[in-house]
Amino acid sequence: MIQKEIEQYIERHTTPEDDVLYKLNRTTHLKTFYPNMLSGHVQGKFLEMISHMIRPEYILEIGTFTGYSAICLVKGLSEGGKLITLESNEEMESFASEFINLSGMHDRIELIMGNALQIIPGLKEKFDLVFIDADKEQYVDYYELILPKVRNGGFILADNVLWGGKTVYDNKPDKETQGIRRFNEKVKNDPRVEQVMLSIRDGLMLIRKIRD
């Protein structure tokens, strides 16, 4: 994984967080048990940049956590666009909602609580961009459900595809590592998409749908 000094250098040369994201980052580290689930400064800015490049009309996020990545992604929405973010942990609802409201983007972000595998089939939108960052064991299931709902030429971003290096080095993988490995292999061998794996933070897979 990237050395700490290199990470710090990357952070110093990345546009700083705005005030809301900085406060959200700090508060997440102070008040949650697993703050490393947060996308954070560098990855958050990358998500924002990708969104600005695509200018999506509809974004789907699977896994809200405290709302950091949703706030980053929504900044690149086209006029009149919407971001739908799904979260299964009820304890995160008020936390995420507070910062979504603070961001001033609450009218463009729809937070839906519940099991994503049950919610996704009922979504009617055709998505330009999807961000997967939820239960690692279910990544393949999320992928299969959402790919038909992504327009041709649309993009999927999947987080944690390196999983702390376990996808490469772990000889006795736990269920989460196995889930990520299955997902990586699924995408690699799927003729409907093309993809590039990036070493940003814990690994990001950028996937483009090329056909149904």
CATH number of the domain bearing residue 159: 3.40.50.150
Domain of 102? 4-209
CB 66, CB 24: distance < 8 Å: yes
Q: For residues 11 and 14, give the distance between their C-alpha atoms in angstroms, rounded to a whole number.
A: 5
Q: Which two tokens stand for residue 190?
A: 């799927």
What's the pLDDT score for residue 170? 84
Note the pLDDT of residue 38: 92
pTM of the predicted model as reported, rounded to 2 decimal places: 0.95
pLDDT in the model for residue 132:
98
User: Tokens 């279910």 label which residue?
Assistant: 138
Domain count for the chain, please give it. 1
Closest CA to 50 of 192, 210, 163, 206: 206
Residue 4 confidence (pLDDT): 86
The token duo for 67 is 């709302």
At position 167, the amino acid (one-letter code) is: T
Specify the pLDDT at position 171. 85
Per residue of the chain (212 residues), give pLDDT as tens: 568 899 899 999 999 999 999 999 999 999 998 888 899 999 999 999 999 999 999 999 999 999 999 999 999 999 999 999 999 999 999 999 999 999 999 999 999 999 999 999 999 999 999 999 999 999 999 999 999 999 999 999 999 999 999 999 988 899 999 999 999 999 999 999 999 999 999 999 999 999 99
Closest CA to 126 of 69, 78, 57, 211: 57
- Helix, strand, coil shares of the chain, percent, nearest 5, are 50, 20, 30
> What gap in Å lies between CA 142 and CA 158, rounded to an integer?
10
Residue 20: its H or E element: helix 19-31
Predicted pLDDT of residue 121: 98
pLDDT value of residue 2: 67
List b or e across 52-65, with b for residues whose CB sees 16 or more CB atoms inside 10 angstroms. eebebbbbbbbbbb
